[in-house]
């Protein structure tokens, strides 16, 4: 009986940890969407279905499906006509927008 009670407690603890982790991931996604649409002004140039954006200056993100590393690099350093956002967006904001784009397209 005591072992069953311990197992139940561990299961409850595991569920709480998973719930909190998912809530944090959702917050990062939501923050990234906000940055994509407003602070980062990404929607002005890029098409992204989740953001309901249809820019044609930059690549269509739905088509190229960039991974998070590629997005972080492009946002931080710029690429082609896209300016670097290092110094305009914090590292955490860049990670958030990269998470949002990667999860929205993959």
* pTM across the whole model: 0.77
Q: Residue 15: inside a domain, yes or no?
A: no
Number of domain units in the chain: 1
Rounded CA separation 88/59 (Å): 21
In a domain, 2, yes or no: no
Q: How far apart are CA 53 and CA 89, in angstroms?
A: 20
**Domain housing 43:** 27-105
% of the chain exceeding 70 in pLDDT: 76
Show the tokens assigned to 20.
């909190």
* 21 is a domain residue: no
Q: Please report whether residue 13 resides in a domain.
A: no
Three-state secondary structure call for residue 56: coil
Q: What is the CATH number of the domain that holds 39?
A: 1.10.760.10
Read off the pLDDT of residues 86-97 as tens digits, 9 standing for 90 and up: 999 999 999 999
pLDDT at residue 15 is higher than 60:
no
* pLDDT for residue 13 is more than 70: no
**How many angstroms separate the CA atoms of 6 and 103, rounded?**
36
Residue tagged 């917050």 (tokens): 27
In a domain, 1, yes or no: no
Residue 64 lies inside a defined structural domain of this protein: yes
> What pLDDT shows up at residue 72?
97
């Amino acid at each position: 009986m005591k072992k069953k009670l311990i197992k139940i407690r561990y299961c409850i603890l595991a569920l709480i940890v998973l719930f909190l982790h998912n809530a944090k991931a959702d917050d990062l996604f939501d923050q990234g969407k906000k940055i994509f649409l407003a602070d980062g002004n990404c929607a002005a140039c890029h098409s992204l279905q989740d953001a309901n954006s249809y820019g044609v200056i930059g690549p269509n993100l739905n088509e190229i499906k960039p991974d998070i590393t590629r997005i972080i690099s492009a946002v931080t350093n710029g690429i082609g006509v896209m300016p670097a956002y290092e110094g305009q967006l914090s590292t955490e904001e860049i990670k958030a927008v990269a998470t949002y784009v990667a999860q929205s397209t993959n």
